[in-house]
Structure 1
Amino acid sequence: MSTVNTSSKYKTVRINPISPKPPRASVLVIYTGGTLGMVYESVGRQLVPFDFEQILEQVPEVNRFDFEITFLPLSEPIDSSNMTPELWIEIARIVNENYAQYDSFVILHGTDTMAYTASALSFLLEGLNKAVILTGAQLPIGIARSDARENFLTALEIAAATNLAGQPIVSEVCIYFNSVLLRGNRAKKNESSDFNAFKSENYPILARAGVSIYYDLPYLETYRPGIKLHLHEKLNPNVTYLKIFPGISREVVHAVLKVSGLRGVVLETFGAGNAPTMDWFLAEIRDAIDRNLLIFNVSQCDGGRVTQGQYQTSKFLKDVGVISGSDITAESAITKMMYVLGRTDDPAQQRTWLSEPLRGEMSL
């Protein structure tokens, strides 16, 4: 049975299990927008967001779970291409405000920026001790062969899963997609037309869903009794990417590094962190660092890591103070930089936080 609650800031829809037994858990589903929640309208056959009051018509299987599910759509669902730092903070606030009431959270999100959102939430939700699972779909839920149902239903099951001691098996921000669970701040979208849209090249898969769900427990964050959630509500968006390529001009590099108000740059370099050694390039990097601009070295390769100084073409970067991003993804690097710059104005502290893992987003 479903019930509708309009007394809070957001309109919610609650699904109670069919079983007469008390629900063993409660999951809050936050719908931000994206392909998963789309159906064809009867007139015009255009894709439109469906009303979660009719969730049982689209996914009747949710009634079979032995836990309570509450749906909370954002007041204005968006295409994930329009995701912003302000919306990341709003989603994090929703989790924080409902943290004591629910055992876990599932976030329905468009795939294009899902890895950015997962990374940002991992930094904003310090001390997280419950599952926050992002999922979505490549095809709308209103399509007959959509991947939406499997992704959604399994994300719910993982979010509500507990061990023999009654503790959550997953207690971090993750992405579930196409039968695999990935650490959110280690994931990248790598496919636009296949169902296996996300990969995690530098960190193992956390769980695989087949006939049963297998959890690779050594790689999951450990549940920590007594830890309290601390919400961070400030991100500094004055950051950018600078992707190096053969033939990049001094004018381009200079223009990027001199953007007014810029505080940090994720420098996407070749291979293990290598960059051009032309005098003008080195001069631009040195000048930027002398102006206290943070420069975070991230490899353009999906796999592997930055090892500054291994080659002559990266030794200069290390010598002048470019910060190694190790094996962090570009998505995690840019959101981490926003988070670090939002937390402190102390350059030494900023450099320390960028260079070390804060939420399992990079290896030492």
Structure 2
Amino acid sequence: MAEQLQPSVIVDAAAGATAPRASVLVIYTGGTVGMSVNKRGELVPMKFGQIQKKMPELRQLGMQVSVLSLPEPIDSSNVTPTEWLQLAAILQQHYDAYDGFVVLHGTDTMAYSAAALSYLLENLGKPVIFTGAQVPVGRIRTDARRNLVTALEIAAARHPRAGTVRVPEVCVFFNDVLIRGTRAKKVESQHYSAFRSENYPPLARAGIELEFDDNLLRLLPAGPLRVHPHLEDRVVVLKLFPGITEHMVRAILGAADLRGCVLETYGSGNAPTSPWFLQCLREATERGVYVLNVSQCEEGRVIQGRYETSAHLTELGVIGGEDITTEAAITKLMYVLGLGRDAETTRRLLLSDLRGEISVSQAAGTSIRF
């Protein structure tokens, strides 16, 4: 499907300039940002190619903006790995033609999508900025205009002296912060500050000026873009809670075709020491299921072995997830298992920082790319 999709509308935002300072492709997948108000006052999906009529300020950016809409807008609650692979293929198809990319996406699963694309796009050397809105562009108090305009500026940003790409990675921009794609988490549904990065500072802040922290941004890659075509979807998230039963845990970990599990534990990676629970984990890991330990806490990290209640996990082959988010952990499992590597390499990749999802100083492995 990706090879049939072409930019349908070019928004001439150059304001008469003969040479726009940048070209950016906006990929509209769906979500609140693309809703408009009809004559009856109802919110309905709009043709996103008409965005220039809703946002005439785009012409003041001095850049050329092309728009590509998916044939059918997707509610972000319905996003699957199929859509992530489609997005990756679209970006690969148009990669050489544009200086940067903005992906308009529903907020509910934006953090998952940004993390997934971070893994799929290896050696990314251009900005891929996810954004959206809490309030549709057709409403008076919408945040869509500010989010889109700033995301476009970030996608076109270059170092003032070197002239090189400023943000060569997948990110989420929302409200006033730019967050690494593998660090974003949706934390708010009623206010504009919908996303946060608890364990890593924002890459940029949008005030009167855009303020980038170049010390935090990833460096330009040494090799060409490589787009990975596979994700393993036979994975699950198992969140522990007081009173969870053996029957439920066995039903999840005992699934016949399960390949990977993100285990959401307490505090710094602690879990029950009940014999039945440890036996369930032992049976799963012995069947070749990769279990990645992630803390339920929004801040902090997993330190397996710090307490007796986590020491057993290491003995059973559970992999400590350090300070990774659940969103980045489940998509990392999909990506790494989709590579089809041997067991030793797979464990090493899951332990290592691949796309900035783990704080390198804390990670068990080194920062590597595969």
Which residue in 2 is equivalent to 1:4? none
Whether 2:150 is the aligned partner of 1:145: answer no
Match of 1:62 in 2: 58
In structure 1, distance between residues paired with 2:126 and 2:51 = 25
3-state SS of 2:191 partner? coil
- How far apart, in 1, do the equivalents of 2:210 and 2:256 lie? 50
Measure the CA separation in 1 of the matches of 2:5 and 2:136: 27
The alpha carbon displacement at 1:192 in A equals 0.7
Question: Are 1:193 and 2:190 an aligned pair?
Answer: yes
Q: Residue 230 of structure 1 is aligned with which of 226, 229, 245?
A: 226
Residue in 2 aligned with 1:113? 109
Identical amino acids, percent of aligned pairs: 52
Q: How does 1:166-181 map to 2 (within 5 A)?
A: 166-181=163-178
User: Which 4+ stretches in 1 moved above 2 angstroms?
Assistant: 7-11
Match of 1:22 among 19, 25, 30: 19
CA deviations on 1:55-105 (whole Å, 9 max, x unpaired) are 221111111111110000011111100001000000011111111000100
Matches within 5 A, 1:1-364: 9-16=5-12, 17-43=14-40, 45-163=41-159, 164-224=161-221, 227-363=223-359, 364=363
Shift of 1:28: 0.3
The structure-2 alpha-carbon separation of the partners of 1:295 and 1:305, relative to structure 1 and needing over 3 Å to count, comes to: same
TM-score of the aligned structures, taking structure 1 as reference length: 0.96
Q: Is the 8 A contact 2:108 2:186 kept in 1?
A: yes
For 1:24-60, what per-residue CA distance to the aligned partner results, in whole angstroms no more than 9, with x for missing partners?
Answer: 21000000000001001224x3212211332221111
Tell me if the contact between 1:10 and 1:75 (Cα under 8 Å) persists in the aligned partners.
no
Counterpart-to-counterpart distance in 1, 2:93 and 2:171: 20
CA drift of 1:11 comes to 4.9
Post-superposition offset of 1:287: 1.1
* 8 Å Cα contact 1:308/1:317 also seen in 2: yes
Q: Which residue identity does 2:294 align to in structure 1?
A: V
In 1, are the aligned partners of 2:5 and 2:68 still within 8 Å (CA)? Answer: no
Other structure's SS at 2:172 match: strand
- The offset of 1:222, in angstroms, is 1.4
What's the RMSD between the two structures over aligned residues? 1.2
AA aligned to 1:132 is V
Structure 2: how far apart are the matches of 1:51 and 1:242? 39
Letter of the structure 1 residue corresponding to residue 355 of structure 2: R
Instruction: Please report the TM-score for the alignment, with normalisation by the length of structure 2.
Output: 0.94
Cα distance, 1:8 vs structure 2: 5.7
Q: Distance in 1 between matches of 2:30 and 2:183?
A: 22
What do the CA deviations read for 1:298-325 (whole angstroms, capped 9, x no partner)? 0000110000000000000011110010
**Residue type at the aligned position of 1:208:** R
SS at match of 1:218: coil
Give, in whole Å, the separation in 1 of the partners of 2:279 and 2:304: 18
**Conserved? CA contact 2:28–2:48, under 8 Å:** no
Work out the CA distance in 2 between the residues paired with 1:290 and 1:54: 55
Gaps of 5+ in 2: 364-370
Structure 1 unaligned segments of length 5 or more: list them.
1-6
Cα distance in 1, alignment partners of residues 214 and 341 from structure 2: 37
2 CA distance for matches of 1:241 and 1:106? 29
1:123-162 Cα shifts (integer Å, max 9, x gaps): 0000001000000000000000011100010000011011
Assess if the C-alpha contact under 8 Å between 2:5 and 2:70 holds in 1: no
Q: Deviation of residue 345 (structure 1)?
A: 4.4
Q: Which amino acid aligns with 1:114?
A: M
The amino acid across from 1:217 in the alignment is: D
